[in-house]
């Protein structure tokens, strides 16, 4: 049986569990290794340069790419590209936030990372230079095995605008990651000439940010504790309001100065019958000629308490008096004050008083 107290613990556990599942189950797009990706290598040699690609080995686990830059072009280059295998198809990266690359290099202090995207109204599929060159740097000088780069960190270089006779503010220059053609890795700007460098690529994938999930989890936990605190102070207010009115010997709240005869009848009946463990709101309604809904409304208006809350407060108040003034056993007091079982009595008493009935009696004995 799930009690209210148990629910207080189940709710945050469920929220935490769902958030954890969402955190680790976020979708990702794997570019490499993948059977849907075509891998190629290149250098400035095809355009009349002298840079050489020595090795280009790739399989199911990684790509090993070795090259040497040679002095002919002002900016010699060599690189490897990862393209969509199906002709005319694109990767849709619009729902992702980061690119994650597992990569190592023997010489380069930094590598250039390009994301080539199709530009509507401008790109000619036969002209690679007409694709938007979104550029970021892989800081391999950090000597990490994995790098996570935000897509917001990519920028289109100025030379691309000049080559394509466009301006950054032109409509054709709007970056659209929903049509990504290729991901390329090239040597960095500061790379020694005539020295072989080897790049090993183990993985390339795109992932989403986990910040929204963490934010949701944080807000959920905060709201949960706010609700718990509000419930605690509401219950405390109810207890103080009822306890502020003295309880007569029969358990009825005495000296109720309310002019409402109906609330007097209701509280009087409860005060005279709270010892009955089977007392329910229908009994009060039938004997006071008041509907069950009105009984609840009266207790809410005058004591800010529901029927079960008010009944428990009367019972605990009477039990507390007996614990202080009589030598009866606790189980006898529980039965006399309308609690059906000692476990129920202990639970309700501790909830309202903060201590068990035995601790309450012991405290009075010490005084």
pLDDT of residue 240: 56
* Residue 239 maps to a domain: no
Q: Are residues 64 and 200 in the same domain?
A: yes
- CATH number of the domain enclosing 266: 1.10.10.60
Indicate if 294 and 357 belong to the same structural domain.
yes
| DSSP string for residues in 19-73 | HHHHHHS--EEEEES-TTEEEEEEEGGGGT---EEEEEEE-SS-EEEEEE--SSS
Other C-beta atoms lying within 10 Å of the C-beta of residue 120? 10
Clarify whether residues 52 and 200 are in a common domain. yes
Number of domains in the chain: 2
User: In the chain, pLDDT over 90 holds for what percent of residues?
Assistant: 49
In the block, tokens 């507390």 appear at 320
Distance from C-alpha of 250 to C-alpha of 337, rounded to nearest angstrom? 10
Q: What's the rounded Cα separation, in Å, for the pair 6 and 319? A: 25
Q: Which of helix, strand or coil describes residue 147?
A: strand
> Position of tokens 């380069």?
108
Tokens of 156: 């289109």
Are 50 and 184 contained in the same domain? Answer: yes
190 and 256 together in one domain: no
pLDDT at 349: 93
Are 187 and 141 in the same domain?
yes
CA distance linking residue 252 with residue 47, whole number of Å: 100
Bridge-based pairing state of the strands 180-187 and 78-84? antiparallel
Residues 178 and 269 in one domain: no
pLDDT for 88 equals 82
SS3 of residue 91 by DSSP: strand
Same domain, 171 and 53: yes
Q: Write out the two tokens for 310.
A: 């008010």
* 195 burial level (CB within 10 Å; 0-12, 13-18, 19+): exposed
Q: Are residues 97 and 32 part of one domain?
A: yes
pLDDT band at 331 (very low <50, low <70, confident <90, very high): very high
Domain harbouring 69, CATH code:
2.60.120.430
> Does residue 161 share a domain with residue 53?
yes
**Residue 145: inside a domain:** yes
Q: Is the pLDDT of residue 100 over 90?
A: yes
Question: What CA–CA distance (Å, rounded) separates 207 from 185?
Answer: 18
Print the domain residue range for 284.
Answer: 245-366
CA dist., res. 112 & res. 65, Å (int): 15
pLDDT value, residue 137: 94
Q: Among 161, 192, 209, give the residue marking a domain's end.
A: 209
Encoded tokens for 299: 């207790």
In the block, residue with structure tokens 């950090």: 142
pLDDT of residue 51: 93
Residues 268 and 198 both lie in one domain: no
Confidence category of residue 2, pLDDT binned at 50, 70, 90: very low
Q: Which of 277, 155, 258 is nearest to 268 (CA)?
A: 258
Examine residue 147 and say whether the peptide bond preceding it is cis (omega within 30 degrees of 0): no
At residue 134, the 3 state secondary structure works out as: strand
Residues 6+ apart with CB under 8 A from 61: 33, 202
Q: Give the residue-averaged pLDDT of 201-220.
A: 85
Over the stretch 130-189, which tens digit does the pLDDT of each residue have? 999 999 999 998 989 899 999 999 999 988 989 888 888 776 566 789 999 999 999 987
If DSSP codes are grouped into helix, strand and coil, which group holds residue 275? coil
Same domain flag for 205 and 258: no
Task: Tell whether 263 is covered by a domain.
Answer: yes
CB atoms within 10 A of CB 143: 9
pLDDT given for residue 167 in this prediction: 84
Calculate Rg over the CA atoms of the chain.
38
Higher pLDDT, 268 or 59: 268
């Amino acid at each position: 049986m799930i009690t209210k107290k148990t629910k207080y613990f189940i709710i945050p556990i469920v929220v935490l569990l769902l958030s954890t599942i969402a955190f680790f189950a976020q979708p990702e797009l794997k570019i490499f290794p993948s059977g849907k990706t075509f891998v190629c290598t290149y250098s400035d040699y095809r355009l009349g340069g002298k840079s050489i690609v020595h090795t280009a080995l790739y399989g199911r686990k990684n790509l090993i790419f070795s090259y040497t830059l040679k002095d002919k072009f002002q900016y010699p280059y060599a690189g490897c590209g990862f393209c969509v295998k199906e002709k005319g198809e694109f990767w849709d990266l619009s729902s992702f936030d980061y690119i994650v690359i597992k990569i190592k290099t023997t010489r380069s202090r930094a590598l250039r990372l390009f994301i080539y995207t199709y530009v509507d109204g401008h790109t000619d599929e036969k002209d690679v230079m007409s694709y938007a060159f979104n550029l970021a740097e892989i800081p391999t000088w950090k000597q990490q095995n994995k790098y996570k780069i935000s897509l917001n960190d990519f920028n289109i270089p100025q030379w691309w605008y000049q080559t394509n006779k466009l301006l950054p503010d032109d409509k054709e220059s709007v970056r659209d990651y929903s049509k990504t053609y290729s991901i390329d890795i090239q040597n960095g700007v500061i790379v020694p000439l005539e020295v072989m460098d080897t790049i090993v690529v183990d993985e390339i994938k795109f992932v989403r940010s986990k910040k929204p999930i963490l934010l949701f989890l944080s807000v959920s936990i905060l709201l949960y504790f706010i609700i718990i605190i509000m419930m605690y102070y509401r219950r405390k207010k109810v207890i103080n309001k009822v306890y502020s009115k003295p309880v007569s010997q029969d358990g009825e709240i005495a000296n109720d100065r309310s002019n409402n005869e109906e609330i007097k009848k209701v509280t009087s009946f409860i005060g005279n019958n709270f010892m009955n463990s089977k007392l329910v709101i229908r009994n009060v309604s039938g004997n006071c000629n008041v509907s069950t809904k009105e009984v609840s409304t009266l207790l809410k208006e005058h004591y800010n308490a529901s029927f079960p809350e008010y009944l428990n407060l009367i019972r605990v108040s009477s039990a507390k008096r007996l614990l202080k003034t009589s030598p009866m056993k606790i189980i006898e007091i529980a039965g006399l004050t309308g609690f059906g079982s000692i476990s129920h009595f202990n639970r309700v008493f501790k909830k309202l008083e903060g201590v068990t009935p035995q601790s309450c009696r012991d405290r009075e004995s010490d005084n």
